[in-house]
Structure 1
Amino acid sequence: MPLPLPRFHDDARVGQLYLERVAEVSQEAHRYAAEHRVRPAREDSFRIAAFGIDAQVAFCTPGASLFVPGAVEDTQRTLRWLYTHLDRLTGLVFSLDTHRAFQIFHPGWWRDAEGRPPAPMTVITANDVREGRWRATRHPEESLAYCEGLEASGRYVLTIWPYHALLGGQSHALVPAMYEASLFHALVRDTPTHFELKGEHPLTENYSVMAPEVTEVKGQRVGEFNARLMEHLLSFDRVYVFGQASSHCVLSTLRDLQQSLERTDKSKLGNIYILEDAMSPVPAPPLDPLPAALDFPRVAKDALAGFKAAGMHVVRTTDPIP
């Protein structure tokens, strides 16, 4: 039987910025655990993880520089799902996109022939760099090599994003309502939340939580597969995935999970459950013609179909947990 929502939760506040209510949440957690006789997570015989990808202010709060349309409603559905299944969810895992001002995908890294930085959503190809349309303000040889490596992967071309998820800024934090849920779960189930930072290296992008898009630039190692996180996720019998955005960080993370499991144990692909109504795609940039790789809603839709065909489950937050 689904559990009730805690007294402090308010759907209307999910899209708002506010100071997390630690005292109120902790008091309610003590009352809630006793009233509903919720067992500690360590007693779970069947272990379920909820894996939240970049559920941060930067992507989920209106007015943030990379707000994903639909993210507020996604978060509302996610929170209702988390609270009503609290007694079934053994552990929460959250990634935190973590950036600084000067990174290869931010405007400060590039200048055009007139010395102007690129506007957000500008696409920079390796050919653009070779022909001088865009010049890196630092590490020019490595920057060209990165663009070449990214394009060779067949995943993305370099897109310039607005400054976002800057370490130390408000946009880096979990959405306040989501942070309250993580604290509430930790106290009710007597287990810590697992946080995973990603994306700090200036010479590569980290859409995926599991690995950067390019791991080596001109002989310099700029990242590697996160084997430690993979081991943690595989310690659960089932992993539910949600977050932002379905066309980028969620997609890339799921792709890395798929490829890793196909190499090691295909049977475990069935342990991955994708909450399709708890994520949204980045809107396509206003380009005509629109390259297929930049039609982000279509990319996300096709990827979900591919993950399902590979053996993962695509479900909704309203579906019961079997």
Structure 2
Amino acid sequence: MSLPLPSFYDDARVGSLYLERAARVTDEARRYAREHGVRPAREDRLRIAAFGIDAQVAFCQPEASLFVPGAVEDSQRTLRWLYRNLDRITGLVFSMDTHRVFQIFHPGWWQGPDGQPPPPLTVITPADVRSGRWRATRHPEESLAYCERLEATGRYVLTVWPYHALLGGLSHALLPAMMEASLFHALVRDTPTHIIQKGEEALTENYSVFSPEVTEVSGRTVGRFDQALFDHLLTFDRVYVFGQAKSHCVLSTLMDLKRRIEETDRSKMGRIHILEDAMSPVPAPPLDPLPPGLDFPRVANEALRALQEAGMKVVRTTDPIEG
């Protein structure tokens, strides 16, 4: 039987910006635990993690520069699922995309022949850099090397994104309604939320929570696989994944999970549950013809099918948590 929603939760405010109401949330949390007999997380027989990928203002609030269409509704479904299954969800894990102004995927890193930065969603290839169509304003040799290494992976082409998730800015924060859920869960279940930051290295993109797109540029290490996070997640019997965007950070994270599970213990693949109605893809850019790799909704859907074939479970927030 599912638990009731707390009184402070309002579906209509999920996409809004406001200061988290810590006193109200924590006061209700203690009453809620008593009234509904919710036991501490450490007593769970079946240990379940809810893994939220970049559930931040930058992607989930309609006024943000990288708002993902559908993210508000995804967040509403996610929050209703979290609250109604609060007694089953042992731990919350959140990643936070974390950036600064001068990073290789931000406009300030590049200039055209006219001295102007590229507009958002510009694709920069190694050929563009060699021809002078786009010139790096800093670390030019490493920037070309990065584009070459990225192209060789066959995963993505360097895309210039609007400034987003800037450390110290509002867009970096968890969506306020999600922050309140984290606070509420921590007090009701008597367990801290696990929060990690990723994406601060200037010379690489970092879609996956586990590792950047490129780990070495011109002999310099720019990132590595986050083994500690992987080990933490796999201490749970089941991991439910949600967040933004389905075509980028969520997808890359799931692909990294798949690869590492295949390398270590394939029997654990079924622990990963993908909440397909709690994530949305970045829309395809308005290009004609549209390169297949930039058809983000198609890429995401095809990848989800491949992950399911590999053994991960694709579920919905309305499905009961069995076991």
**Length-normalised TM-score, structure 2:** 0.99
| 1:18 positional shift | 0.2
Pairs within 5 Å for 1:124-139: 124-139=124-139
Percent identity of the aligned residues?
A: 76
CA distance in structure 2 between the aligned counterparts of 1:15 and 1:235, rounded to whole angstroms: 32
Counterpart residue number, 1:10: 10
SS for the counterpart of 2:289 is coil
CA distance in structure 2 between the aligned counterparts of 1:125 and 1:63, rounded to whole angstroms: 30
SS for the counterpart of 1:77 is helix
Counterpart residue number, 1:82: 82
Over residues 116-159 of structure 1, what are the superposed CA-to-partner deviations in whole Å (9 max), with x where a residue is unaligned? Answer: 10000000001100111000000000000000111110100000
Segments of 5+ residues of structure 2 without an aligned counterpart are none
Counterpart residue number, 1:219: 219
Counterpart residue number, 2:30: 30
SS for the counterpart of 2:88 is coil
Over residues 236-260 of structure 1, what are the superposed CA-to-partner deviations in whole Å (9 max), with x where a residue is unaligned? Answer: 0000000000000000000000000
Counterpart residue number, 2:156: 156
SS for the counterpart of 1:30 is helix
Counterpart residue number, 1:19: 19
SS for the counterpart of 1:224 is coil
Over residues 197-252 of structure 1, what are the superposed CA-to-partner deviations in whole Å (9 max), with x where a residue is unaligned? Answer: 00000000110000000000000000000000001001100000000000000000
Pairs within 5 Å for 1:1-322: 1-322=1-322
Paired residue total: 322
CA distance in structure 2 between the aligned counterparts of 1:150 and 1:25, rounded to whole angstroms: 44
| 1:45 positional shift | 1.3
| 1:317 positional shift | 0.2
CA distance in structure 2 between the aligned counterparts of 1:25 and 1:217, rounded to whole angstroms: 46
Q: Residue 192 of structure 1 aligns to which amino acid in structure 2?
A: P
Q: Residue 306 of structure 1 aligns to which amino acid in structure 2?
A: A
Q: Residue 69 of structure 1 aligns to which amino acid in structure 2?
A: P
| 1:278 positional shift | 0.1
| 1:46 positional shift | 1.0
SS for the counterpart of 2:240 is strand
| 1:80 positional shift | 0.2
CA distance in structure 2 between the aligned counterparts of 1:103 and 1:303, rounded to whole angstroms: 27
Over residues 155-188 of structure 1, what are the superposed CA-to-partner deviations in whole Å (9 max), with x where a residue is unaligned? Answer: 0000000000000000000000000000000000
Q: Residue 167 of structure 1 aligns to which amino acid in structure 2?
A: L
| 1:269 positional shift | 0.5
Q: Residue 224 of structure 2 aligns to which amino acid in structure 1?
A: E
Q: Residue 282 of structure 2 aligns to which amino acid in structure 1?
A: V
RMSD, aligned α-carbons: 0.4
Segments of 5+ residues of structure 1 without an aligned counterpart are none
SS for the counterpart of 2:267 is helix
CA distance in structure 1 between the aligned counterparts of 2:3 and 2:271, rounded to whole angstroms: 24
SS for the counterpart of 1:240 is strand
CA distance in structure 2 between the aligned counterparts of 1:44 and 1:151, rounded to whole angstroms: 45
CA distance in structure 1 between the aligned counterparts of 2:269 and 2:73, rounded to whole angstroms: 28
Q: Residue 53 of structure 1 aligns to which amino acid in structure 2?
A: I
After superposing on structure 2, the runs of 4+ consecutive aligned residues of structure 1 that deviate more than 4 Å are none
SS for the counterpart of 2:197 is strand
Over residues 88-141 of structure 1, what are the superposed CA-to-partner deviations in whole Å (9 max), with x where a residue is unaligned? Answer: 000000000000000000000000011110000000001100111000000000
CA distance in structure 1 between the aligned counterparts of 2:149 and 2:252, rounded to whole angstroms: 16
**Length-normalised TM-score, structure 1:** 1.00
CA distance in structure 1 between the aligned counterparts of 2:151 and 2:255, rounded to whole angstroms: 17
SS for the counterpart of 1:223 is coil
SS for the counterpart of 1:196 is strand
Q: Residue 152 of structure 2 aligns to which amino acid in structure 1?
A: A
SS for the counterpart of 1:151 is helix
CA distance in structure 2 between the aligned counterparts of 1:276 and 1:304, rounded to whole angstroms: 9
Q: Residue 143 of structure 1 aligns to which amino acid in structure 2?
A: S
SS for the counterpart of 2:147 is helix
